[in-house]
């Protein structure tokens, strides 16, 4: 059975193409995406990223978006925007306020944060499923790779964790 989802975990500054990385490092990540796309005959690329945070990294698009455009494959940023997080009361400021108001201790706040991470991961799953374009390359933070693999496998979309934590 061929995988439906191929996962690459990395850090967000490298994913975005932040200028704190030298060009050879950025090229190595782009080459990994290109090679993975070619090997698995990728039809779409989805990323744990939202348009509104790209400027935090000094970019207007990620490395994967550039690769997707060159390869003429579908590309989507699937993370929640700042407005979506605020509407759901899971932005950092609201979470801290909620924890203080509810008098949560450190362990309880850590659980609350993990729960919101799981909510985001579930949303990525739904957004990628709604693309319904297979196989899909999914790029996320290294701390999400195993969990997102589990989620895709649980809904019957074979997922392969190609690289858990790509760093150069």
Contact 161, 145 (CB under 8 A): yes
| Whole-prediction pTM | 0.93
Q: Give the N- to C-terminal CA distance of the chain in Å, as an integer.
A: 31
83 vs 15: CA distance, rounded Å: 22
Question: Taking Cα atoms as reference points, which of 59, 28, 33 lies closest to residue 44?
Answer: 33
pLDDT, position 167: 85
Tell me the per-residue pLDDT of 41-81, one tens digit each, with 9 for 90 and over: 999 999 999 999 999 999 999 999 999 999 999 999 999 99
142 vs 163: CA distance, rounded Å: 9
Q: Which sequence spans correspond to the domains of the chain?
A: 5-166
Tell me the per-residue pLDDT of 80-139, one tens digit each, with 9 for 90 and over: 999 999 999 888 888 889 889 899 999 998 998 899 999 999 999 999 999 999 999 999
pLDDT bin (cut points 50, 70, 90) of residue 168 is low
Burial readout 112-133 (b: 16 or more C-beta within 10 A, e: otherwise): beeebeeebbeebbeebeebeb
């Amino acid at each position: 059975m061929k995988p439906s989802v191929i996962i690459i975990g990395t850090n967000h500054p490298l994913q975005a193409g932040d200028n704190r990385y030298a060009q050879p490092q950025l090229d190595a990540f782009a080459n990994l995406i290109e090679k993975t796309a070619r090997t698995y005959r990728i039809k779409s690329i989805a990323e744990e990223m939202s348009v509104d945070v790209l400027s935090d990294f000094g970019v207007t698009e990620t490395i994967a978006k550039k690769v997707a455009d060159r390869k003429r494959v579908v590309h989507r940023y699937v993370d929640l925007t700042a407005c979506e997080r605020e509407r759901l009361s899971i932005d950092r400021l609201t979470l801290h306020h909620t924890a203080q108001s509810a008098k949560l201790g450190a362990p309880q706040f850590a659980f609350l944060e993990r729960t919101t991470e799981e909510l985001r991961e579930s949303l990525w799953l739904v957004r990628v499923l709604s693309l319904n374009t297979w196989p899909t390359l999914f790029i996320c933070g290294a701390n999400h790779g195993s969990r997102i693999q589990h989620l895709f496998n649980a809904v019957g979309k074979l997922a392969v964790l190609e690289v858990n934590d790509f760093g150069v």
